[in-house]
């Protein structure tokens, strides 16, 4: 596929505002009143990624991810795989983390991956709008793992 490098509809990347004082800093990354109800998180988790390691590319059928990039240096890759989207076929790549903290919303059908391109272990928070493996972890995981496909068109580098 020939991807067009451009922003992707429905994938806002919102810079975080840091409120700094003598103790350090604080930043709001989620406000109930700023998201449509379908995007409200139902769980949250934090993950650590070693330098040079990638997570993805994968996509979800129903889940929207709300990633918080605030630590380290990550290169986020997005591919619009939604045939009914006005930005179908677009690819977006952006560096996020400590120097460029932001929230990235990734809706269903947008293939996504990120790599820690920094020199140290780095953290990410995710607050998706679906429970991993459903209530009580009894449902199939909503994930299409393109990184497991030998002929994947979703190539990071």
E strand or H helix at 110: strand 110-116
E-strand stretches of 38-72: 45-49, 54-59, 65-69
E strand or H helix at 79: strand 73-80
The per-residue pLDDT of the chain, averaged, comes to 96
pLDDT at 1 over 90: no
Query: pLDDT confidence of 118, banded at 50, 70, 90?
Result: very high
Q: Report the pLDDT averaged over residues 68-84.
A: 98
pLDDT at 157 over 90: no
The pTM (predicted TM-score) of the whole model is 0.95
For the domain spanning 4-148, the CATH number is: 2.60.120.10
Query: For position 150, what pLDDT does the model report?
Result: 86
Please choose, from the candidates 70, 62, 117, 114, the residue with its C-alpha nearest in 3D space to the C-alpha of residue 92.
Answer: 114
pLDDT tens digits, one per residue of 50-66: 999 999 999 999 999 99
Q: Report the pLDDT averaged over residues 101-116.
A: 98
The rounded distance, in Å, linking the Cα atoms of 144 and 61 is 8
The rounded distance, in Å, linking the Cα atoms of 34 and 123 is 24
Return contacts of 147-152, CB within 8 angstroms, 24+ apart.
147/54, 147/56, 147/57, 147/58, 147/113, 152/57
Domain coordinates of the chain in residue numbers?
4-148
Q: Report the pLDDT averaged over residues 68-83.
A: 98
């Amino acid at each position: 596929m020939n991807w067009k490098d451009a922003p992707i509809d429905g994938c806002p990347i919102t810079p975080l505002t840091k409120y700094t004082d003598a103790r350090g800093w604080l930043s709001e990354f989620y406000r109930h009143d700023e998201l449509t109800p379908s995007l409200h998180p139902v769980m949250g988790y934090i993950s650590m990624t070693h330098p040079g390691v990638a997570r993805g590319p994968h996509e979800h059928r129903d889940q929207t991810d709300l990633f918080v990039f605030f630590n380290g240096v990550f290169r986020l890759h997005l591919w619009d795989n939604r045939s009914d989207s006005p930005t179908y076929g677009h690819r977006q790549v952006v560096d996020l983390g400590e120097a460029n903290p932001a929230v990235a919303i990734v809706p269903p059908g947008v293939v996504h991956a990120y790599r820690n391109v920094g020199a140290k272990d780095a953290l990410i928070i995710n607050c998706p709008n679906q429970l991993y493996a459903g209530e009580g972890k009894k449902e199939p995981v909503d994930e299409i793992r393109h990184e497991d496909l030998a002929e994947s068109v979703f190539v990071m580098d």
